[in-house]
């Protein structure tokens, strides 16, 4: 126990001697004083000019000019003003102290601290994307802290010599970290570029199917290029991935046939444009609805009652599909009705036809409503009225319901009876007598 106390006392004495020597050295306390002055000056200048910079750089809320966008972009960097200003003033102070005293380690350490504060402000206040903010907290801020303490070079050297084996490949810890950082940044840039390209494509005058195909092609090209650039920057040779890509090829060939088939079918659909977003389709399997989204694997149908149906793209190629909305053409519907056998059926077309044509959603092109004699039923004479409309009778429009109302009212106003099922029962012989 006494040896431990003596050792601790020796360390304390040494530390006191070093601190005392540091305090009585004019070069050291003058550098420390310059650090304090630089920090206070940066805080004072920032408080004075920040409101003026905000007022000068803030554009009108509804302004979307190039200059307004540039001014909004510059405003994003305002949190870096104080630490970078302190960094610049400290750099000037370092030149002064080195010219006078020939040393500047203390002020150089302070300069690195101010740079660390700038990095922390950048991650905390400027990064809004969750992925980039997490990357900054886990990688950028720790590296800036290590740099501020002066240990960056030894840490990087240790990471460079630490090898991580992975099958036939091996990576240094520094290379792996560099790959993760570069891949994350490239993925973010790819996503941002993809959003910008989609916005640009949406503004172009082209068919929806062509627009979606262009967006998918741009997405594949952007993320493919981002992957290749990330691999190149990280120093990973693509030839080392031959085994991995070969295994993926075998997996696609045997286990992912349906996915590959659906992907190719999706490309064919986008190229041919026979079914695209906004079309109301009905498949052989009974699925029916409006296409609200088309992905690389499937199409999303929305029914009139709000349900979403996921239909594989292959079903649009190998089965019969009825498209009610192709090229924006009108659609024809029919409504059945019956009249009594006592009716003068020659009057029916002149009664029902004008009543249906008077409805505001019924078209006169390609033809007016047509009333046809459909057959002679058990209870009455069967008719059908055919009419054209723009749109789909999907439960929201209720075209056929309105037409049935119009037919009912027109026949009632004309005094024509709408029959209901009747049966005539003939009993042969006398009825059995009930016992008294």
**Rounded distance between C-alpha atoms, residue 172 and residue 178, angstroms:** 10
pLDDT at 436: 58
Using CA atoms of 155, 161, 162, 164 in order, give the dihedral in degrees to the nearest 10: 140
pLDDT at 148: 81
Using 50, 70 and 90 to split pLDDT, how confident is the model at 18? very low
Using 50, 70 and 90 to split pLDDT, how confident is the model at 152? confident
**Rounded distance between C-alpha atoms, residue 105 and residue 78, angstroms:** 29
User: Among 266, 265, 291, which Cα is nearest to 279's?
Assistant: 291
pLDDT at 243: 54
pLDDT at 250: 61
**Rounded distance between C-alpha atoms, residue 295 and residue 283, angstroms:** 18
For residue range 119-133, list pLDDT tens digits in order.
888 888 877 777 777
Which secondary-structure segment (H or E) carries 350?
helix 348-357
Instruction: Show the CA angle centred on residue 156, arms to residues 155 and 159, nearest 5°.
Output: 85
Tokens 């126990």 belong to which residue?
1
Using 50, 70 and 90 to split pLDDT, how confident is the model at 208? low
Top-tier CATH class for 331-413: alpha beta
For residue range 86-115, list pLDDT tens digits in order.
888 887 777 777 676 666 677 777 788 888
With 80 as the cut, is the pLDDT of residue 10 above it? Answer: no
Q: How high does pLDDT run on average in the chain? A: 75
* Domains of the chain, residue spans: 2-127, 188-255, 263-326, 331-413
Using 50, 70 and 90 to split pLDDT, how confident is the model at 12? low
pLDDT at 22: 53
Contact 401, 329 (CB under 8 A): no
**Rounded distance between C-alpha atoms, residue 111 and residue 108, angstroms:** 5
pLDDT at 329: 66
Tally of residues, the chain: 436
With 80 as the cut, is the pLDDT of residue 117 above it? Answer: yes
Residue 427, both tokens: 């009993």
CATH number of 263-326: 2.30.30.60
């Amino acid at each position: 126990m006494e040896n431990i106390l003596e050792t601790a006392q020796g360390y304390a004495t040494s530390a006191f001697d070093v601190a005392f020597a540091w305090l009585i050295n004019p070069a050291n306390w003058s550098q420390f004083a310059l650090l304090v002055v630089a920090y206070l000056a940066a805080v004072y200048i920032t408080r004075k000019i920040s409101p003026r910079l905000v007022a000068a750089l803030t554009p009108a809320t509804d302004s979307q000019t190039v200059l307004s966008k540039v001014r909004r972009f510059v405003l994003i960097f305002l949190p870096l003003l104080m630490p970078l200003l302190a960094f610049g003033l400290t750099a000037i102070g370092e030149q002064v102290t080195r010219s006078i005293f020939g040393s500047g380690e203390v002020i150089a350490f302070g300069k690195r601290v101010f740079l660390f504060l700038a990095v922390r402000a950048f991650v905390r206040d400027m990064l809004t994307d969750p992925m980039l903010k997490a990357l900054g907290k886990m990688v950028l801020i720790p590296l800036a802290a290590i740099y501020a303490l002066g240990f960056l070079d030894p840490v990087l050297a240790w990471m460079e010599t630490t090898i991580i084996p992975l099958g036939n490949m091996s990576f240094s810890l520094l290379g792996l970290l560099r790959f993760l950082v570069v891949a994350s940044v490239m993925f973010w840039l790819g996503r941002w570029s993809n959003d910008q390209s989609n916005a640009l494509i949406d503004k172009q005058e082209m068919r929806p199917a062509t627009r979606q195909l262009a967006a998918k092609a741009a997405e594949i090209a952007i993320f493919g290029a981002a992957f290749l650039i990330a691999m190149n920057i990280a120093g990973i040779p693509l030839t080392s991935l031959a085994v991995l890509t070969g295994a993926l090829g075998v997996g696609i060939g045997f286990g992912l046939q349906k996915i590959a088939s659906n992907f190719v079918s999706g490309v064919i659909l986008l190229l041919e444009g026979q079914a695209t977003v906004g079309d109301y389709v009905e498949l052989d399997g009974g699925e029916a609805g409006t296409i609200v989204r088309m992905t690389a694997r499937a199409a999303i149908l929305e029914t009139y009652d709000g349900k979403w149906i996921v239909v594989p793209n292959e079903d649009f190629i190998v089965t019969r599909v009825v498209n009610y909305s192709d090229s924006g053409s009108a659609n024809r519907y029919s409504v059945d009705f019956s009249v009594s056998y006592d009716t003068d059926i020659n009057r029916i077309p002149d009664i029902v036809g004008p009543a249906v044509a008077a409805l505001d959603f019924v078209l006169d092109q390609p033809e007016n409503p047509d009333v046809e004699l459909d057959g002679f039923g058990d209870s009455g004479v069967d008719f059908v009225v055919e009419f054209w409309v723009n749109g789909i009778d999907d439960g929201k429009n209720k075209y056929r319901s309105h037409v049935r109302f119009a037919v009912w009212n027109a026949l009632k106003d004309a005094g024509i009876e709408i029959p209901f099922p009747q049966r005539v029962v003939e009993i042969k012989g006398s009825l059995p007598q009930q016992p008294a």
